[in-house]
Amino acid sequence: MEVQKIGVFLSSKESLPAAYVQAARDVGGWIGRTGRTLVYGGARKGLMETLAQAVKQGGGRVYGVVPDIIEQRGQASDVPDVVFRTADLNDRKAVMVRESDVLLALPGGIGTLDEAFTVLAADLIGTEHKPLVFYNAGGCWDALLALLSRLEADGLVGAGGAPLWHVAATVGELEACLASL
């Protein structure tokens, strides 16, 4: 599978742990250096802006998927080369999945979890098959990954074949993961 467009779900919050900020810089730099395109939520705050700027500085393209509420609040980033305007967060998720070859969950909160679980649920029921990688910067996803493993062990989660999600904690691990898809 050739991976050119990387959809990234992540936080738009400010003042997050340094490991999370560094992960956004590292992943963004890698996307840019490798000539790929970022597909992200389009906000000019927090990890979203850090990621988008790192992609641009590395020479990559940026697609911003901006819900009306972000635009109305004046929080849309100026970084994207291409902007997809959406009515709401559900539309944003749909556009991000449609436009991406693979989806990556960097540290984030409820919105990021909602987006990641939407991708997993779509894969489980067979409506959309896009790989999802949890980028476990600073152990952000440790508890979630433990819960998912428990659900898998109990037979509550799993399609009985290829893994539903992948995990990487460094750009090197991410590259290896994507190469194996």
- Number of domains comprising the chain: 1
Which residue range is the domain that position 28 belongs to? 5-179
Q: What is the mean pLDDT of the chain?
A: 95
Instruction: Using alpha carbons, select from 171, 173, 141 the residue that is nearest to residue 25.
Output: 171
pLDDT at res. 124: 86
Is 80 exceeded by the pLDDT of residue 179? yes
Is 80 exceeded by the pLDDT of residue 157? yes
- Which CATH number covers residue 107? 3.40.50.450
Spell out the alpha helix ranges (H) of 74-179: 89-99, 110-125, 142-153, 171-179
User: What percent of the chain shows pLDDT beyond 70?
Assistant: 98
Instruction: Using alpha carbons, select from 63, 120, 121, 72 the residue that is nearest to residue 92.
Output: 63
pTM: 0.95
pLDDT at res. 18: 97
pLDDT at res. 159: 57
Report the chain's C-alpha Rg in angstroms. Answer: 15
